[in-house]
Amino acid sequence: MKILLLGIGKTGSLVRDVAMERGHTVDVVLENDNANAAGLTKDRLAGFDVVVDFTAPHCVLDNISACIENGKNMVVGTTGWYDQIPNIKAEVERRGTGFVFGSNFSVGVNMFFELVKTVAPALKQGYAGHIYERHHVTKKDAPSGTAATMQQILQNASDAEVEITSFREGDVVGMHELTLESAADTIYLCHDAKSRRGFAEGAVRAAEWLMGKKGFYEFKDIWREV
């Protein structure tokens, strides 16, 4: 498989390494060469099976639009654009491309999402919930996409809106915690990422899964298949 990678930061670098370890060819578009997605022309995209985006919220929508318009399948690990999901989904369906996005491509985190859904009924049984998330000081969005997904899962399952508190500390890879507190006890759920490799492996496996497919998918719904 031939992958075009957008973003060569901490996670993007690992995506490249993992993809090459798994026998894929990877080319990279640097941010300086892609202002307003100017580097994602039809000729530049030709020959690639999938585009993988781990860039930043300020440029991801331009990247997505350019790739969809040129008929390229895409895996997007960048967050901060989810208010545009209905529009992007419509464009993917209009162009007949394949698209996988996720607030977190770690299989472990997606198992964690299932646990969050399982305990959500506690919010209807007198428990008060709170989400805490910690990341490195250079993370550009707050709250994290993972925390926002947790919040949405809880709201969908219980109609309760749970507050998120964000911390930016040192080089923390990513820690997410849900506390459910009652007068009688406290329930803790926590996922603590040891490295970014889990994110990278999930993204590459999603790209492999997307080969030959069309449609709009969220990683939390398809991770068991990758």
Catalytic residue list: 135, 139
- Provide the 8-state DSSP code for 142: S
Within 8 A by CB and 6+ apart from 17, the residues are 200
The one-letter amino acid at 69: E
Q: Is 107 helix (H, G, I), strand (E, B) or coil?
A: helix
* Bridge pairing between strands 163-168 and 128-135: parallel
**What distance in Å separates the CA atoms of residue 180 and residue 68, rounded to the nearest whole number?**
41
**What distance in Å separates the CA atoms of residue 56 and residue 183, rounded to the nearest whole number?**
42
